[in-house]
């Protein structure tokens, strides 16, 4: 397994041929001095950008017409002399020069029959088809670079075909030769996957034949699929590691990174997180995010067992911006001080969340209820409840988890139903919601263990959960009233010994244009015929898309309800902490090595994103927490607990199975080590 550097920079350099003076201010010594001052030990350098410009003297592509030096070669040489790793960037799917000179290489949209990309008089990137001669053009440059330079690695960007697939002449011809139907979206999707993976195989051969130790990563492949071979695991053989490009302010948001990190934690490869220094997103010249935001994003990576990468964009004249690297230095000095506690770590989890496909090729979606919102909803609830969890596809070993959650849209085919049935028979527990657990035809539940009869859509929307007279664990901290659910649900009836945990309260009637009451939903009226939350043995079912509901509306009652339901099956979670819901707590185990003991590491993060501007979450202020009570469930005695990197010992209290400490202060982030 490769050892990725902790402190990386991804240095964009998409530079128009209309700009003069490319690289004229580049000074190799100043370049590496700036990087070293910022504690950067790996920087991704550009060979070919989205404009199709090459930054080395290529005989195959187009050497940037305004560049008078081998910029790539000088950068690599300077970095290597300074002990800085220098993987190489290559744009694949976007190439403006190739698009302008070879229209026959462009992708054709299957819906419109037009070229994929912007309209003719709009700026933007035009999509290239890697099932044309363009593939050979790119690979020829890869082989050229491998002959010319000492290669540490390659970052291949924008490796994707339009959804569900390109319909250029080459793709139509080759599909027909494979007895596939270009008019069938499933066939198109299958062929598109074949095209992408064929390129990966050829690129892997081109690089590793010359530089067998080089790292390889193919970007724009990030997705989750419940059928592993159709997702990232099916192409893992071509990757040396995983990278998660996730700029929270650039459209990804703060839910994106932890969702994919909690999935890739279950895959056996090193992981690298990538954010950016930009106020908004890539190419935001003059935009610099606050220190607190960059800290939060990098320490989130470390807290999931990943290394850090910060995106920047080099000015066309070739000089790094000093203010940018002053900012990066403030974060990377902190990262450097704790690296010894971040090597060979593995995230621990009590809870496994079953995933329905999201990302590239998301599968069936319903209006208002979809897989991405379901996963983000469960992510938010579990983070805010300080639970330890992984996102799972069906290749995972479910027996590792004390509880499985199937959020909203996870249909159970025969194989998945059998796997979950065996998991339950082995003592596991299951929480499902809405259509999760139904067979693929949505005719009924695939597991008898759920103990319900499915009747289709619920009669009333919105409707209510009746907590007026409920007591006990399920109702803890929830105000005793009828709480509204805004999204449509399903109608069920109980079978056998299934219990109603929370009843449905029906409104007087559904709201229509000629039949309504007050400003919004019709008020609650009576206990209904269909239950809202049921339990049969170690299976709990919720008859509404509760996770979509929470992602969309943020009603704290639903987080409290899920917390209570989880605690019914998981009374002793891995971690307990007296911290606000906005705090994030993760537990990792660091493997034993010759120079260190085995230890557990609890990461505490408390940063507060605020919605400012147009759909932009900003992290600027750090609000410290004091005297935080932390309890960790451990399977062996603890010799020492202490703060990292301060080294300050903490007094421990053992209350089996927990070891408890008081963390005196959390100022943004704090690690507690248990040895």
Residue 380: C-alpha distances to residues 75, 303, 553, 563, 643 (Å) = 42, 16, 12, 12, 27
Q: What's the confidence (pLDDT) of residue 614?
A: 81
Q: What's the confidence (pLDDT) of residue 270?
A: 96
Preceding peptide of 164 cis, ω within 30° = yes
CA 606 – CA 192 distance, rounded (Å): 42
C-alpha of 401 from chain center: 21
Give the domain-ending residue among 343, 360, 385: 343
Q: What's the confidence (pLDDT) of residue 361?
A: 35
CATH number, residue 138: 3.20.20.80
Establish if 1 belongs to a structural domain. Answer: no
CA 49 – CA 217 distance, rounded (Å): 16
Rounded to 10 degrees, the C-alpha dihedral 10/16/19/20 comes to 80
What secondary structure, in 3-state letters, does 588-639 show? Answer: EEECCECCECCEEEEEEECCCCEEECCCEEECCCCCCEEEEEEEEECCCCCC
- Looking at the fold, whether 233 and 102 belong to one and the same domain comes out as yes
Establish if 514 belongs to a structural domain. Answer: yes
Establish if 59 belongs to a structural domain. Answer: yes
- Looking at the fold, whether 162 and 271 belong to one and the same domain comes out as yes
CA 322 – CA 320 distance, rounded (Å): 6
- Looking at the fold, whether 231 and 117 belong to one and the same domain comes out as yes
- Looking at the fold, whether 554 and 616 belong to one and the same domain comes out as no
- Looking at the fold, whether 109 and 191 belong to one and the same domain comes out as yes
Establish if 2 belongs to a structural domain. Answer: no
Give the domain-ending residue among 343, 375, 407: 343
CATH number, residue 423: 3.40.50.880
- Looking at the fold, whether 516 and 641 belong to one and the same domain comes out as no
pTM: 0.95
- Looking at the fold, whether 580 and 474 belong to one and the same domain comes out as no
Using alpha carbons only, give the angle 339, 340, 346 rounded to the nearest 5 degrees: 85
Instruction: Find all residues with CB under 8 Å of 427, minimum gap 6, and list them.
Output: 538
Q: Which residues in the chain come in under a pLDDT of 50?
A: 360-367
Establish if 509 belongs to a structural domain. Answer: yes
Rounded to 10 degrees, the C-alpha dihedral 377/381/382/384 comes to 130
> Residues 38, 52: contact at Cβ < 8 Å?
no
- Looking at the fold, whether 243 and 294 belong to one and the same domain comes out as yes
CATH number, residue 606: 2.60.40.1180
Establish if 529 belongs to a structural domain. Answer: yes
Determine the structural domain holding residue 41 and report its residue range: 8-343
- Looking at the fold, whether 264 and 367 belong to one and the same domain comes out as no
Establish if 338 belongs to a structural domain. Answer: yes
- Looking at the fold, whether 386 and 330 belong to one and the same domain comes out as no
Give the domain-ending residue among 313, 343, 373: 343
Domain count, the chain: 3
- Looking at the fold, whether 27 and 144 belong to one and the same domain comes out as yes
- Looking at the fold, whether 298 and 197 belong to one and the same domain comes out as yes
Q: What's the confidence (pLDDT) of residue 368?
A: 63
């Amino acid at each position: 397994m490769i050892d990725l550097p902790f402190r990386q920079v991804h240095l964009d350099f998409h530079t128009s041929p209309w700009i003069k003076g490319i690289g004229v201010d580049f000074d190799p010594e100043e370049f590496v001095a700036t990087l070293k001052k910022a504690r950067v030990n790996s920087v991704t350098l550009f060979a070919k950008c989205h404009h199709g410009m090459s930054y080395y003297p290529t005989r195959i592509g187009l050497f940037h017409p305004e560049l008078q030096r081998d910029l790539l070669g000088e950068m690599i040489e300077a970095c290597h002399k300074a002990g800085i790793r220098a993987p190489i960037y290559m744009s694949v799917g976007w190439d403006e020069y190739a698009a302008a000179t070879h229209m026959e290489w462009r992708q054709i949209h299957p819906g419109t029959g037009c070229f994929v990309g912007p309209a003719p008089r709009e700026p933007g990137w035009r999509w290239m088809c890697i099932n044309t001669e363009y593939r050979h053009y790119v690979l020829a440059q890869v082989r050229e670079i491998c002959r010319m330079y000492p290669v540490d690695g390659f970052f291949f960007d924008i490796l994707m075909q339009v959804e569900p697939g390109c319909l250029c002449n080459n793709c139509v011809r080759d599909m027909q030769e494979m007895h596939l139907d270009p008019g069938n979206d499933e066939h198109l999707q299958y062929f598109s996957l074949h095209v992408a993976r064929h390129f990966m195989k050829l690129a892997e051969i081109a690089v590793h034949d010359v530089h067998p130790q080089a790292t390889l990563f193919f970007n724009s492949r990030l997705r989750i699929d419940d059928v592993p071979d159709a997702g990232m695991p099916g192409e893992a053989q071509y990757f040396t590691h995983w990278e998660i490009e996730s700029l929270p302010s650039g459209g990804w948001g703060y839910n994106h990174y932890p969702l994919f990190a909690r999935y890739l934690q279950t895959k056996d490869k090193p992981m690298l997180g990538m954010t950016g220094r930009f106020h908004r997103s890539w190419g935001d010249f003059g935009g610099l995010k606050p220190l607190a935001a960059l800290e939060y994003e990098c320490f989130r990576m470390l807290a999931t067992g990943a290394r850090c990468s910060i995106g920047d964009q080099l000015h066309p004249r070739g000089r790094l911006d000093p203010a940018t690297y002053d900012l990066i230095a403030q974060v990377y000095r902190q990262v450097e001080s704790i690296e010894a506690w971040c090597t060979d770590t593995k995230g621990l989890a009590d809870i496994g969340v079953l995933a329905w496909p999201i990302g590239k090729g998301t599968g069936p979606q319903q209006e208002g209820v979809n897989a991405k919102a379901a996963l983000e909803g469960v992510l938010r609830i579990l983070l805010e409840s300080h639970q330890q969890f992984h996102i799972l596809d069906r290749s995972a070993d479910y027996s590792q988890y004390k509880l499985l959650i199937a959020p909203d849209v996870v249909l159970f085919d025969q194989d998945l139903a059998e796997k979950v049935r065996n998991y339950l028979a082995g003592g596991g527990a299951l929480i499902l919601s809405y259509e999760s657990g139904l067979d693929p035809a949505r005719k009924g539940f695939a597991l008898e263990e759920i103990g319900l009869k499915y009747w289709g859509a619920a009669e009333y929307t919105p409707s209510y959960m009746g907590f007026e007279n409920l007591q006990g664990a399920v109702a803890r901290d929830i105000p005793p009233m009828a709480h509204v659910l805004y999204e449509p649900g399903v109608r069920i009836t109980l079978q056998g010994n299934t219990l109603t945990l929370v009843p449905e309260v029906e409104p007087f009637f559904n709201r229509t244009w000629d039949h309504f009451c007050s400003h919004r939903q019709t008020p609650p009226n009576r206990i209904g015929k269909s239950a809202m939350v049921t339990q049969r043995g170690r299976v709990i079912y919720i008859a509404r898309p509760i996770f979509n509901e929470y992602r969309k509306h943020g009603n704290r009652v639903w987080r409290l309800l899920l917390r209570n339901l989880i605690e019914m099956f998981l009374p002793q979670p891995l971690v307990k902490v007296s911290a606000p819901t906005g705090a994030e707590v993760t537990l990792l185990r660091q493997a034993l090595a010759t120079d260190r003991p085995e230890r557990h590491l609890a990461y505490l993060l408390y940063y507060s994103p605020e919605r400012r501007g147009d759909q932009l979450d900003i992290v600027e202020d750090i609000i410290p927490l004091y005297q935080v009570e932390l309890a960790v469930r451990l399977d062996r005695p603890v010799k020492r607990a202490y703060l990292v990197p301060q080294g300050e010992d903490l007094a421990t209290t053992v209350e089996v199975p927990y070891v408890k400490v008081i963390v005196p202060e959390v100022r943004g982030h704090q690690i507690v080590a248990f040895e």
